[in-house]
Amino acid sequence: MNQTVFAPWDDPNATPLIRFQNVTKRFGEFTAIDDLTLDIYAQEFFALLGPSGCGKTTMMRMLAGFETVTEGRIELAGQDIGPVPPNERAVNMMFQSYALFPHLSVWENIAFGLRRDRKTKGEITARVEEMLKLVRLEKFAQRKPHQISGGQRQRVALARSLAKAPKLLLLDEPLGALDKKLRQDTQFELMDIQETTGTTFVIVTHDQEEAMTVASRVAVMDEGRIMQVATPAAIYEYPNSVYVADFIGDVNIIEGRASPSGDEEYKLDWTEGQAPVLAKSQATFSEGQEAHLAIRPEKIRISTEKPDDAVNAMQGKVLDIAYLGNLSTYHVELPGGQVIKAQTANTRRIARRDITWEDPVWISWSATAGVMLDQ
Amino acid sequence: MKRATLILVPYLWLLVLFLAPFLIVLKISLSDAALAIPPYTPTLKDGIGALIAELDFENFIFLTEDDLYWKAYLSSLRIAVISTLLTLLVGYPIAYGMARAPDEWRATLMMLVILPFWTSFLIRVYAWMGILSNEGLLNQLLIWLGLINDPLTILNTNTAVYIGIVYTYLPFMILPIYAALDRLDSSLDEAAQDLGCTRMQAFWLVTIPLSRNGIVAGSFLVFIPALGEFVIPSLLGGSGTLMIGKVLWEEFFNNRDWPVASAVAVILLLILVIPIVLFQRNQQKQQEAEQ
Amino acid sequence: MKRMSWFNVTSLTLGFAFLYLPMLVLIFYSFNASKLVTVWAGFSTRWYGELLQNEAFLDAAWVTLKVAVISSSIATVLGTMAAYVLVRGGRFLGRTLFSGMIYAPLVMPEVITGLSLLLLFIGIGLDRGVLTIVLAHTTFSMCYVSVVVSSRLVSFDRSLEEAALDLGSTPFEAFRLVTLPIIAPAVISGWLLAFTLSLDDLVIASFTAGPAATTLPIKIFSAVRLGVSPEINALSTIMILIVTVGVVTASLVSKRNALRAQNEVQAAERAAA
């Protein structure tokens, strides 16, 4: 890896660009954001991830200035932006609907914000051309929004919000309206543009794959609270709660009672008639404490013979196979009725694989495969 | 522009030119007729005290005593109800035909329904005077066909009023019903037939219930203005046609009894409140259902 | 293409015959040479000539037009403001009363509106004339404008206004540069509706017009009360023709625009594919 990893959040001396300080937002009786504190650093690509209604859009709208804060304060570059109206904030937003002005051409849409700044004609032209080039739409400058495709509209919206060179760009489900293939291409394009312009991006999405792909850090939200903020890899490998583990990717959760069995090692009694599961954990659990072991399906091995070296191994029978092309997910039913998902890469052609429905199989995993969670 | 200005300008306009006049009507309906100008006492000049002291319900009592008014209210209600039903009977098949017409005709048919709406109301009512009169086109046609020997008296009767209301308010009935039918998925009708309904049963069990909102909206849109109608009864109706709008006009312009005219207006409004509230509720329900 | 059943064809034919025959009869008899309107006595344009000589009618037509243009223009401004306040204004003191006052005139019998306004004008000592008719017409037609414009505003993507603010517009600039151009078609139809309502109105004008100013509908009404007259037939024909030309043109223009937009969208989809 590179020597200078971009990780200002680990640097105690770095000053954040945005600070949410104990922010609460209520709509009447309903609390959309509940006493939330969060720092976002300059040049980050920060993702707010959560199901609909979790408060992520409200946070973004508070940053843009379309919602006021009920309690607490939001700082942008050290300044409280509470009293600043949206048209005077150095923040721009790319709307979920794109909100392209239907009566203006692509060129005029991009120039709209620059004109509001009373820039000279020459400056405006130069900047618009630059933006058109950035999003590769030079040929479509004179078209109206309804005369271009969905993907092109998305790029116009991006160019328009970047034209004023904001300190902070907010993206509200920017790829939601695109089909899957286009969405993947555009994700990389967004990352490129973010890197080229050095702008801080805050993206709101409910698509965990998208958040993992583009973001430097992800905040997983639920019911107005932030559940975890970390890099995509940390969120995936070290979720801090069952909620986060379950929200990001596929996971098996094994519930049981922990008992210490060595150095950072625990036994988990999880069901009668099965041997306790062995797991390592840096978090400490007391004797008999309730614990959840979260294991990703791809960390579970599946085999026809009993593996000799496995710390945790148990026998079951194949209930279902979901064939995804590159991967297959096996649903294995244990004698107690629990179903465990195990995933393998399909490195061989389908005809040569040896496990099929109703087959008795062994599943196994190591002591470090899973994460032990107390909630 | 400041938000307050934006709100205040139309607000004040309506307060002065809609609400205030209304309160004046209410006040005058509680005054005594006088032969001066303005022909009522007390006026605003007499001071608030006198104003309140002299208010009475005499005019309303008068309305209940003279059975002309009772009859006029009842007859207006009857005419409005009957003509609303007639408009529905005439309008539904047209709306249904439009909804089932080929797509390329729809815009034209729609325009043909809207066109009379932009044409002068007065002229459309007037057009029937020449047709319905004793020497009118309809009688000429019927005599020529040998169906009748002597001309029928249609003009200046309630029949002419029904025809006039159906004719002038027909677009108000067609448009909401058409809108409801147009939104209807045609596969619903096919599904009903697939499940064993005859076409007629499918129509009664599926199409009619699902266009209910359009029927209700159209009926209110005809009923409410028909109740207070003035032009149609005065041009097409006869001396025997009693409608409250006409009575109010005559009280005001011919008898110059402003307090009684105002009392008539107040009662007409009270009668209208029920259908208006019902209509609003129907519209609201429909809007909520769409969201 | 699906074929229409005989029932639908019959109901459409009869329905539209009912809607249009009376007007066609009126137009036909306006070219009748005879004074007796129901007896055909050969083709003539005599009544049109007489109409153009009739100064009372011409004066009334002029007053009507003046009232309609002024009142519909004021009503459009006020109605658009009211619609904006209702849809975007949020909560304010007396909002319910305000929206009630916007919707009430739509269902208010004209006799009541006319009577109450007359009583107000007398009460404040305003002489009846063009001004009072304009005030009266503005008041009820602004409510129609407001309903037309607010239905457009409701379906209007609010994020467009927010985008304008986000890009640095003041709220007024956002309205002028984004909202107004987009709701313009609704504002124009609101104006046309207000204009037509004003041209058409007999009852409210009868209450609020004074001896100094008479509108065309008042003139027509007092003429036709006495019976059918060939001159009125001629006048009606002219009015029907003007409206027909206007409505047909408007519908052709909107049809052409819709077609063009559709073609452009298809072209964009092809270009993107």
The interface predicted TM-score (ipTM) is: 0.88
Closest CB to A103 among C182, C261, C265:
C182
Q: What is the pLDDT of residue C41?
A: 80
Closest CB to C109 among B123, B262, B268:
B268
pLDDT at B35 over 50: no
Q: Is residue C29 part of a domain?
A: no
| Residue B43 banded pLDDT, cuts 50, 70, 90 | low
Q: What is the pLDDT of residue B36?
A: 46
Q: What is the pLDDT of residue C1?
A: 39
- Compute the count of residue pairs across chains A and C with CB atoms less than 8 Å apart: 82
CB spacing of A146 vs C157 below 8 angstroms: no
Q: At what angle do helices B58-65 and B258-290 cross, to 10 degrees?
A: 90
Class of domain A250-373: mainly beta
What would the pLDDT profile of C204-227 be if each residue is shown by its tens digit? 999 999 887 899 999 999 988 887
* Per-residue three-class SS string for B45-92: HHCHHHHHHCCCCHHHHHHHHCHHHHHHHHHHHHHHHHHHHHHHHHHH
> Could you tell me the residue range of the domain that residue C170 belongs to?
63-225
Domains of chain A, by residue range, sit at 8-245, 250-373
Q: What is the pTM of this model?
A: 0.83
Smallest CA–CA separation between C214 and chain B, in Å?
16
Q: Is residue C197 part of a domain?
A: yes
CB spacing of C268 vs A91 below 8 angstroms: no
pLDDT at B216 over 60: yes
Is residue B267 a contact partner of residue B247, using CB atoms and an 8 Å limit? no
Q: What is the pLDDT of residue A1?
A: 42
CB spacing of A164 vs C167 below 8 angstroms: yes
Question: What average pLDDT does this structure show over B162-185?
Answer: 93
What would the pLDDT profile of C6-23 be if each residue is shown by its tens digit? 888 999 999 999 999 999
Count of alpha carbons within 13 Å of A81, Cβ hemisphere only?
A: 26
Output C117 or A324, whichever has higher pLDDT.
C117
CB spacing of C168 vs A164 below 8 angstroms: yes
pLDDT at A311 over 60: yes
Residues 6+ apart with CB under 8 A from A42: A8, A16, A17, A167, A200
Is residue A268 a contact partner of residue A279, using CB atoms and an 8 Å limit? yes
Q: What is the pLDDT of residue C259?
A: 83
Least confident of A124-138, A163-177, C36-50, C179-193: C36-50
Question: What average pLDDT does this structure show over A265-272?
Answer: 85
Among C80, C97, C111, the strongest candidate for a mutation testing the B interface, having the largest count of B CBs within 10 A, is C111
Q: Beta-strand (E) ranges in chain C?
A: none
Smallest CA–CA separation between B164 and chain C, in Å?
11
Collapse the DSSP code of C194 into the 3-class scheme (helix H, G, I; strand E, B; otherwise coil) and give the result: helix
CB spacing of C162 vs A86 below 8 angstroms: yes
Smallest CA–CA separation between B43 and chain C, in Å?
8
Q: What is the pLDDT of residue A353?
A: 64
Q: What is the pLDDT of residue A346?
A: 84
| Residue B6 banded pLDDT, cuts 50, 70, 90 | confident
Smallest CA–CA separation between B65 and chain C, in Å?
22
Question: What average pLDDT does this structure show over A149-166?
Answer: 92
Mean pLDDT score of chain A, rounded to an integer?
89
Q: Is residue C130 part of a domain?
A: yes
Q: What is the pLDDT of residue A2?
A: 47
Is residue A304 a contact partner of residue A359, using CB atoms and an 8 Å limit? yes
pLDDT at C273 over 70: no
Q: Check residue A139 and report its DSSP letter.
A: G
Q: What is the pLDDT of residue B97?
A: 92
Query: From the CB of residue A249, how many other CB atoms can be counted at a distance below 10 Å?
Result: 15
Share of residues in chain A with pLDDT > 90 (%)? 54
Q: Is residue C71 part of a domain?
A: yes
Query: From the CB of residue A373, how many other CB atoms can be counted at a distance below 10 Å?
Result: 21
User: C249: nearest CA in chain B?
Assistant: B111
Contact exists between C and B (3 or more beta carbon pairs < 8 Å): yes
CB spacing of C265 vs A64 below 8 angstroms: no
What would the pLDDT profile of B241-258 be if each residue is shown by its tens digit? 889 888 888 888 888 888
Q: What is the pLDDT of residue B38?
A: 58
Question: What average pLDDT does this structure show over A271-279?
Answer: 83
Q: What is the pLDDT of residue A331?
A: 93
C113: CATH: 1.10.3720.10
Domain count, chain C: 1
Q: What is the pLDDT of residue C269?
A: 66
- Block residue for tokens 């940053």: A63
Using CA atoms, how far apart are residues A162 and A198, in angstroms rounded to an integer? 11
Question: What average pLDDT does this structure show over C39-67?
Answer: 88
CATH architecture of A8-245: 3-Layer(aba) Sandwich (3.40)
Q: Is residue C157 part of a domain?
A: yes
Share of residues in chain C with pLDDT > 70 (%)? 96
CB spacing of B97 vs C220 below 8 angstroms: no
Output B279 or B98, whichever has higher pLDDT.
B98
| Residue A182 banded pLDDT, cuts 50, 70, 90 | confident
pLDDT at B46 over 50: yes
Mean pLDDT score of chain C, rounded to an integer?
89
Q: Which residues of A76-115 are buried (b: 16+ CB within 10 A; e: fewer)?
A: beeeebeeeebbebebbbbbbbbbbbebbbbbbbbbbbbb
pLDDT at B200 over 60: yes
pLDDT at B51 over 70: no
From chain C, the residues in CB contact with A88 under 8 A are: 168
Question: What average pLDDT does this structure show over C254-271?
Answer: 76
What would the pLDDT profile of C143-159 be if each residue is shown by its tens digit? 999 999 999 998 888 89
